[in-house]
Amino acid sequence: MSNQVLTINGGSSSIKFALFASGEPPHRLLAGSVERVGLSGGSDHEHAVGGLFGKLEERFGLADVGAVGHRVVHGGARYTEPQLVNPELLDELRRIIPLDPVHLPGEIELIEAFRLRLPDLPQIACFDTAFHHDMPRIAQMLPLPRRYDAAGIRRYGFHGLSYAYLMEELARIDGPAAQGRVVLAHLGAGASLAAVRGGQCLDTTMGFTPTAGLIMATRSGDLDPGLLVYMIRNEGMNADQLEELVNRRSGFSGVSEGSPDMRDLVARESGDPRAAEAIALFCYHARKWIGAMAAALGGLDTLVFAGGIGENSLEVRSRICADLGFLGVHLNEARNAANEPLISVEGSPTVVRVIRTDEESMIARSVCRLLGDRLHRS
């Protein structure tokens, strides 16, 4: 078996890939993507998979790949660790498609495409929900009749691969901090927070689906359930239309009536009150949720910003932290403006960091750890 690991990160509108040399940590050799999957001007998912294999063969070929690691958004209640793909796992993923009809069908299709073309190549499924699996029971429950809980209707949480990577990086940078009270803020087109104490996740903002919690690029975040009943009764919406509304036409895009991209909103803010309100709404909700996560932790020692917005938007970081002094959050604005890794004032009770997340590296690490000596130089 070769020592190279291929990672596949299949999203709703893109398929990202990266190639790593195995090791601890794995070393990234190259990366690429197939974009605009299922969007206007792009390819459908079946053609995108074909395009992916074309790019892989063009860039490096597949003969030297020893294993493939896949990001799988939902592992249901069963999967708590990366798993070697086998027929039983695929059957279970098909069974839980109703829990995540947006992501799972495409992810299963990618796994099956590799099985068809390279049947002897080990594939590893790495689950975004696994990081949150051991949250306290009370944080997983939804206030519904118990028969729904028995059917797997509960809060799962997502962005787990990102959170696992961030915690490993925090432990590398400052080991004691990783055992303290940590709020991780993965802020990008998809946005969520996680509360971690003693290395264990205690709560998170996303719930039964990735639509919950914070306002995002095109997702609404939390809504009054009665509003959806209102939409059904008074707007005549069906399930597909509601799904389209809360996942693709809301968030920054809906509030700004323009762009789902925070960079565009910041650039337009001074002359467009709709863009300004979209930014203000996001920062307000992020600030509230940080307070809620700190309450779940019993205090706050470290706040970590990650994701496209968290890593790059100094304006958003500054506005989110502006009224968090009661939690010991005090930004050094010069460090923040310079995008330094440590952006809090020296001696602040709460340390604020910026850590670039890397889901692909986390997938590669998981594959190397699971397969161990089976990955070696040919």
User: What does the pLDDT look like over 119-176, one tens digit per residue?
Assistant: 999 999 999 999 999 999 999 999 999 999 999 999 999 999 999 999 999 999 999 9
Whether residue 251 is contained in a domain is answered as: yes
Q: How many domains does the chain have?
A: 2
113 and 27 within one domain: yes
Select which of 128, 203, 301, 358 is catalytic. 128
Name which of 209-213, 259-263, 370-374 the model is least confident about.
Answer: 370-374
Whether residue 313 is contained in a domain is answered as: yes
117 and 202 within one domain: no
Stretch 102-109: mean pLDDT: 90
Stretch 71-75: mean pLDDT: 95
Residue found by looking up tokens 């004032």 in the block: 345
377, pLDDT greater than 50 = no
Known catalytic membership, residue 128:
yes
84 and 190 within one domain: no
Residues 186, 119 contacting (CB under 8 angstroms): no
Neighbours of 58 (CB within 10 A): 9
297 and 215 within one domain: yes
358, pLDDT greater than 50 = yes
14, pLDDT greater than 50 = yes
State the Cα–Cα distance between residues 371 and 361, nearest whole angstrom. Answer: 15
Looking at residue 108, its amino acid is: I
% the chain with pLDDT above 90: 84
Cα 372 to Cα 27, 55, 120, 364, 369: the distances in Å are: 15, 28, 17, 12, 5
329 and 231 within one domain: yes
CATH of residue 258 = 3.30.420.40
Whether residue 336 is contained in a domain is answered as: yes
Whether residue 107 is contained in a domain is answered as: yes
209 and 296 within one domain: yes
221 and 104 within one domain: no
Whether residue 359 is contained in a domain is answered as: no
Whether residue 370 is contained in a domain is answered as: no
pLDDT band at 206 (very low <50, low <70, confident <90, very high): very high
332, pLDDT greater than 50 = yes
Range of the domain at 285: 174-354
pLDDT band at 12 (very low <50, low <70, confident <90, very high): low
Stretch 178-191: mean pLDDT: 97
pLDDT band at 95 (very low <50, low <70, confident <90, very high): very high
253 or 12: whose pLDDT is higher?
Answer: 253
Q: What pLDDT, on a 0 to 100 scale, did the predictor assign at position 58? A: 85
Q: What pLDDT, on a 0 to 100 scale, did the predictor assign at position 42? A: 59
Whether residue 141 is contained in a domain is answered as: no
Among 27-31, 38-42, 57-61, the range with the most confident prediction by mean pLDDT is 27-31
112 and 181 within one domain: no
15, pLDDT greater than 80 = yes
320 and 225 within one domain: yes
- DSSP SS3 for 149: helix
Q: What pLDDT, on a 0 to 100 scale, did the predictor assign at position 128? A: 96
110 and 250 within one domain: no
Contacts 24+ apart (CB under 8 A), 76-79: 76/129, 76/152, 76/156, 77/152, 77/154, 79/125, 79/127, 79/129, 79/130
117 and 185 within one domain: no
